[in-house]
Structure 1
Amino acid sequence: MGEHDGHRARLRTRLEQEGIDHFAPHEILELLLFYSVPRANTNPIAHRLLERFGSLSGVLEAPRSELLKVEGVGAASATLLSLIPPLTRRYLMDKNAMGIVLDTSEKRGAYIQPLFIGQNNEQLYLLCLDQKFKLLNCVLLAEGNLGQVMVDMRTILDITLRSNASLVILAHNHTQGFALPSDEDLQITRQIAEALKMISVTLVDHIIVARDDFTSMRDSRVGQMAFPRGGIF
C-alpha cells in the first residue's frame, strides 16, 4: 500500500466513524476526488479548487468549464463535482414529491428554494395546485433573465389546463442582488395573473429566491400590487 493509499484509507475510516459533518472543506473535496482520481494525491487539487473558487459551495457551483482550468482537474473530476448541485436538487424534489400542500408562504419557500441550488442562470417555474393547495405539477418554463424567460402566455395556460389546476404559483431566482420584486417582476406577475383569471385560475403567489433567502410577493407590501383583487384572498 502506497502513501496515498494509506491516507485514503484513513479518510474513509473517519467518514464511517464520524460522518462528513466533521470534515473540513478540503477533506470533503479530497474524498469526492478519490472517485475520479484513482491514484494521485488529491489534497493539493482540493486546496487549488478552494483557492480558485473561495469555498466548498463555490467549487460545487462553478461551471464545468472553469473547473477544468484548475491543475489536476480532469474531465471525470469536473463532471463529478458539477453533478453535486443538480443531484441535490433532484433528491430534494423527489423527497418533496407531488402531493405536498403549499398553503403558506413558508411551505412554498421551503419547497421552491431547492429548485435553484447551484443555478447560475435565472429560471422561471410554474407550480400547479388543486383547490386545496396540493401540488399537481412543477414545470421549468424557461431560463435566462426574467425579461427573456417569458414563454408564450398560451404555454402557461396550456400547462395549467392540462394539469387541471385551480391555483398557480410562479417562482424564479435572482442570481444577483436580493430576493425583492423588481418593476419587471411586478409587471410580468400582473400579466400572468390577469391571463389566468380569464380561465378561472388564481395566481396565489410568486416566490423570488436569491441565495439562501426568498420573498413571497403575495406577502410583500409592494408585491401585493401585482395580484388582482378578489378571488380566494
Structure 2
Amino acid sequence: MKPNTLQKDTQNHAAGHRERLRARFKKAGVDGVQDYELLELILFRAIPRRDVKPLAKDLIAAFGGFPQVLAAPMERLMEIKGVSENVAQELKIIHASAIKLSQARVLKRPVISSWDALLSYCRAAMADEKTELFRILFLDKKNILIADEVQQRGTVDHTPVYPREVVKRALELGASAIILVHNHPSGDPTPSKADVDMTNQIVKAASALNIRVHDHLVIGHDRHASFKTLGLL
C-alpha cells in the first residue's frame, strides 16, 4: 500500500471513530462513555487531525483518573508527550468550567439544603491541589452563601492563616457566619493539631463580634473531615 493511501486510510478511520464516539455520547451522555473516551471528546477540539485515544489513555495512566487530569497544573500536563500548550489550556478551561458550574449550584443558596452540592464543589475546587489552600465561605443571617474566597495559598503541608484578617473580611461582607475550608495535599483529611489550634483562634476572634463558625472542612483526595461531625466545634 502506498504511503499516501495508508495515511488517508488512517485519517478516515480516525474520523469515523470520532463520529461514532460523538454519536454515542449524544445518545447516552456521560454514562455511555468511559473516562478515557470523555477525555478523547475534549481532545478532539484541540487536536483535530490525529488519533487521540493513545494520548487520552496516557493522561489517565499518568495522573490516575479523569478528574486528576483536568486538575493537573499546565506544566505537569505538558510533560506528557503529545500535550502542547494549546492542549493543556483546553483541559484547564474545562476544569475551570466544571468548578464554576459547581460553584453556581451553591452560591446564593441556603447551605443546609445544598450541603452535598457544597461538598462536591469544595472537592472539585481543592481535592487535587498540590499545595494547601485556605478558603472561607461567608453566610448571611439566613445561612445563604453570599461569598466564597480563597484567603491564603500555602505549601504542601502548611497555610498561614490570620484570624484577625478572617474576621475583618467577614465584617466587610456583612456575614453572620462562616465555614472554613482547607485541603490536605497528602490526601488524608484528618485534622492536625495546628488545624485545631488555628480553628479555635478563629472561633474566639469571630465570637467576640457575633460571627459564628459553622464548620471547618478538611478536603482530602477522595474524602473529607468535618470539625463539627468530629466534635471539634
TM-score, L = length of structure 2: 0.83
Partner of 1:100: 110
Q: Which of 128, 148, 168 is the matching residue for 1:138?
A: 148
Q: Distance in 2 between matches of 1:117 and 1:197?
A: 29
Partner of 2:230: 220
Partner of 2:46: 36
1:155-210, CA deviations, whole angstroms, 9 ceiling, x for partnerless residues?
A: 21221111212222211111114222110001100111111122222222211111
> Does the 8 Å CA contact 1:89/1:116 hold for their aligned counterparts?
no
Q: Structure 1 residues 143 and 69, CA, compared in 2 at 3 Å: closer, same or farther?
A: same
Q: Which of 162, 169, 190 is the matching residue for 1:159?
A: 169
Partner of 2:8: none
> Does the 8 Å CA contact 2:133/2:182 hold for their aligned counterparts?
yes
Q: Which of 54, 73, 76 is the matching residue for 2:86?
A: 76
Q: Distance in 1 between matches of 2:21 and 2:117?
A: 38
Cα deviation for residue 41 of structure 1 reads: 1.4
Aligned residues: 223
Partner of 1:11: 21
Secondary structure of the residue that 2:206 maps to in structure 1? helix
Structure 2 unaligned blocks of 5 or more: 1-10
CA-based RMSD of the aligned residues comes to 2.5
Partner of 1:197: 207
Partner of 2:98: 88
Amino acid paired to 2:182: H
Do structure 1's residue 116 and structure 2's residue 126 form an aligned pair? yes
Q: Distance in 2 between matches of 1:47 and 1:147?
A: 31
Cα deviation for residue 107 of structure 1 reads: 7.3
Q: Distance in 2 between matches of 1:103 and 1:169?
A: 15
Structure 1 unaligned blocks of 5 or more: 225-233
Amino acid paired to 1:12: R
Q: Structure 1 residues 105 and 43, CA, compared in 2 at 3 Å: closer, same or farther?
A: closer
Amino acid paired to 1:15: F
